[in-house]
Amino acid sequence: METFETLVRTEFAAKNTYLNTASTGLLPARTVEAMRTAVEAVAAGRPTDMFADVEAARAAFGRLTGVPAHRVAAGASVAVYSGLIAASLPEGAEVLTAEDDFSSLVNPFHVRGDLKVRAVPLERVAESVRPGTALVAVSAAQSADGRIADLPAIGAAARRHGARTCVDASQAAGWLDLDAGAYDYVMSVGFKWLLCPRGVTFLVVPEDLGGLTPLFAGWVAGERPWDACYGPVEELAHSARRFDESPALFSYAGARHSLALLEEIGVDAVRAHDLALADRFRTGLRGLGHEPVAAPGSAVVSVPGLGGRQGELSRAGVEVSDRAGNLRAAFHLYNTPADVDRLLEALLTVRG
């Protein structure tokens, strides 16, 4: 079996110091090659069965997050799936969210116009669930600063009050220890920590399908899709596939290989690697006199007041993000201690 280091060296060859996975993950070489092969096959008039790639990616995401494939829908957007869940709620239902959570998760509940959306600080979400709360919607890790939600406490509080839970794992799936089966709905884009191309998103639903109406169901949502191409779909899929969006097939042709790589390495190994680098950066920051946002156990480190330096760092070959005024660095499997030290050096020396 190949080692962590050997697999990473084989698959990734960034030409800069790339510490921006919270925006976009790097594509493995195997993924790039699979997409190239798929595109060339279509150009030559000999397309491959990319629907098989969708099924392989669906199953791999299920294994990575601890749920069977029949609970996983395959789509392209968190906002679409959040909107689907919002549409399932009765008029006047209360939705509890975290303050300043990512818009793709929370905005669909606001645009309904007839829901009671209540936002509280992230650390108070669990204690704020109350009788009458219909849904708790929260990101597993916050986009702006990497803070991690106390998902077990939130899940327990929701169960006590009969509320459903909706978790956006876009900044967590791929490195955080995540049991998707513990929550009603779990969504994640693939283009960040899962190393997939854009156009890949997954939704986990309960065994009972969560009371969702497949409002955008097309032929791919049929129990037998190729028999459901014309007229109303007579029999929707008996699984979460009834919530599939028409897939971005070239993206899924690559995604199955990205997810296979994560399975080969193992999320536990990725998490240990990522968190060691994040902690190295936190220690170095304090040595420079900067205090990061408190986000223990997170692979994302945000530094207040330094977001404005993103441009100069990029020109120096160090890629990070400017989010809500914070400098946001995100550490993933292709990063090394040398990358951390390069960022710290750049913060100390690069000016304009």
Contact (Cβ atoms closer than 8 angstroms) between residue 343 and residue 19: yes
Cβ 154 vs Cβ 138: under 8 Å: yes
In whole angstroms, what separates CA 176 from the centre of its chain?
Answer: 10
Q: What is the distance between the alpha carbons of residues 64 and 68, in angstroms, rounded to a whole number?
A: 10
Average confidence score pLDDT of the chain: 96
Neighbours of 240 (CB within 10 A): 28
Output the pLDDT for position 206: 97
Helix (H) or strand (E) holding 302: strand 300-304
Q: What is the CATH number of domain 4-28+265-349?
A: 3.90.1150.10
Give the pLDDT confidence of 23-65 residue by residue, as tens digits. Answer: 999 999 999 999 999 999 999 999 889 999 999 999 999 999 9
Q: Is 162 left (phi over 0), alpha (psi -120 to 50) or beta?
A: left
pLDDT, residue 352, reads 52
CA–CA separation, 201 vs 296, rounded Å? 27
* Helix (H), strand (E) at residue 139: strand 133-139
Q: Is 232 exposed, middle or buried (CB count within 10 Å of its CB: 0-12, 13-18, 19+)?
A: exposed
Q: Once rounded to an integer, what is the mean pLDDT over residues 210-225?
A: 95
Q: Which fold has domain 40-264?
A: Aspartate Aminotransferase; domain 2 (3.40.640)
Instruction: For residue range 96-133, list pLDDT tens digits in order.
Output: 999 999 999 999 999 999 999 999 999 999 999 999 99
Give the pair of three-digit tokens for residue 185. Answer: 């709905």
- The span from the CA of 132 to the CA of 124, in Å, is 17
- pLDDT tens-digit map of 247-275: 999 999 999 999 999 999 999 999 999 99
- Helix, strand, coil percentages in the chain from 3-state DSSP, rounded to 5: 45, 15, 40
Q: How many CB atoms lie within 10 A of CB 310?
A: 19
Residue spans of alpha helices (H) in 44-115: 50-65, 78-87, 103-111
Q: Which 8-state DSSP code applies to residue 329?
A: E
Give the domain ranges of the chain: 4-28+265-349, 40-264
How many other C-beta atoms can be found within 10 angstroms of the C-beta atom of residue 5? 11
What gap in Å lies between CA 196 and CA 270, rounded to an integer?
Answer: 16
d(CA 89, CA 106): 14
Can you give the pTM of this predicted structure?
0.96
